[in-house]
Amino acid sequence: MADYDARINRVLDYMESHMDRDLSLEDLAREACFSPYHFLRLFTAHTGERPFQLLQRLRLERGANLLRSRPDLTVTSIALQCGFTNMPAFSRAFRAQFGTTPTGWRAFSGENSNPGTGESNRKQEIPSWIPYIDYQQGVQLWRMVKGKEERRVEVKRLEPMDLAYIRYTGPYKGDGGLFQRLWNSLCSRAGALELIGPESRYLAIYHDNPDLTERDKLRVTLAVSTEADFPATDRLGRMTLGGGKYAFAHFRLNSSEYQQAWDWVYRDWLPVSGYLPGDSPAFELFPPGEKDGEGRYPVIIAIPLIAAS
């Protein structure tokens, strides 16, 4: 069963990285090293969705995210990036999934991304975060200050990382016990293969938007970077996290504060940064550090970036 899980995860990774292509059942089955007949049955049994049903859902969810986060892209270009060959097909599928057209979704999202204009804004008494920006050795350093609060964001390039990983599908929000079990499983498997070294970094990669994806279909990957050359096994997957420009927002958090921290990055820092979110996965990075007196550990939230046009 574990070997099948690894093969299905490999297909899901392949779907995400080739979403703009015309994928066939044979393509997906070949990635899983199954015959098309057996692949169709096994994939559906493991995921609860047929391959092209799941691929269609992922494409539409990516389209919905891009319509919200990339105002610089036309609806047609988003449709093409998500694997649709024409606008009518994208519009029909989008309406069936979300109950509105892509244009209607974008307009609604735009209205709600900047709530409280006019009179309501004049009544607002909550102070804004004030940015202070510096540059050191090619790194853009942000200090965000509001009253006595201060938060730090670095904008810099991330080099590609080879990762050993395990993946979980299902509800995970606020479940500290689940994450502890997953981390223990990852470290025991990677440690047995001697993949963890003093320079290894630990990541939690989130593949889906909880606002769009049903809770039982949410996917999270827990990974450790490694310089060792190892084959993917039935117990441990292998993937490469692509490089690029990222924002690294530094926090100290307990298990109940993660959502608030993610909201702050997207709501308070990103709109004033001059950047738009890129299409690569966002993730949490866990640097070395001890728990403080209030039960908080150091956490870095990493968001892929592209320059706003």
Q: Residue 188 pLDDT > 70, yes or no?
A: yes
Which residues are within 8 A (CB) of 198 and not within 5 positions of it... i.e. 6 or more apart? none
Token pair in block for residue 221? 């990957």
pLDDT for residue 305 is more than 90: yes
Other CB atoms within 10 Å distance of the CB of residue 290: 6
- The tens digit of pLDDT for each residue in 35-51 reads 887 888 888 888 889 99
What is the structure's pLDDT at 211?
Answer: 83
The first and second tokens of residue 233, run together, are 């096994």
Residue 203, Cβ neighbours under 10 Å: how many? 20
- Alpha helix positions (H), the chain: 2-17, 25-32, 36-47, 51-69, 75-81, 87-98, 102-113, 119-123, 176-192, 258-264, 270-273
* φ/ψ (deg, to 5) at 276: -115, 155
- Give phi and psi for 290, each to the nearest 5: -90, 155
In the structure encoding, which two tokens stand for residue 23, read together?
């994928």
List Cβ neighbours of 8 (8 Å cut-off, separation of 6 or more).
Answer: 32, 42, 43, 46, 47
Please name each of the domains of the chain with its CATH number: 2-112 (1.10.10.60), 157-307 (3.20.80.10)
pLDDT at residue 222 above 60?
A: yes
* CA angle 296–300–302, rounded 5-degree value: 150
Confidence of residue 308 (pLDDT cuts 50, 70, 90): confident
Residue 124: is its pLDDT beyond 70? no
Kindly state the average pLDDT of the residues 92-115: 80
Q: What 3-state DSSP class applies to 164?
A: strand
Q: What percent of the chain has pLDDT over 70?
A: 93
140 is written with which tokens? 């853009």
pLDDT above 70 for 164:
yes
Is residue 115's pLDDT more than 80?
no
What is residue 71's three-state secondary structure? coil
Q: Which two tokens stand for residue 13?
A: 């990774």
**The predicted structure's pLDDT at residue 88:** 93
Q: Is the dihedral of CA 227, 231, 232, 236 positive or negative?
A: negative
pLDDT of residue 111: 54
| pLDDT higher than threshold 50 for residue 139 | yes
Q: Rounded distance, CA 306 to CA 273, Å?
A: 11
pLDDT band at 76 (very low <50, low <70, confident <90, very high): very high
What mean pLDDT comes out for the span 194-198? 92
How many Cα atoms sit within 13 Å of 78 on the Cβ side? 26
Q: What is the pLDDT of residue 279?
A: 81
The pLDDT mean for the chain works out to 87
Question: With bands split at pLDDT 50, 70 and 90, how would you rate the model's confidence at 231?
Answer: confident
For 92-97, the CB contacts below 8 A with 24+ separation are: 93/56, 93/60, 94/60, 94/63, 94/64, 97/57, 97/60
What are the residues facing 135 on neighbouring strands? 140
Residue 123: predicted pLDDT: 39
Residue 233 has pLDDT above 90, yes or no: no
Q: Are 247 and 273 in contact (CB under 8 A)?
A: yes
For the ranges 177-186, 227-236, 259-268, the lowest mean pLDDT is seen at: 227-236
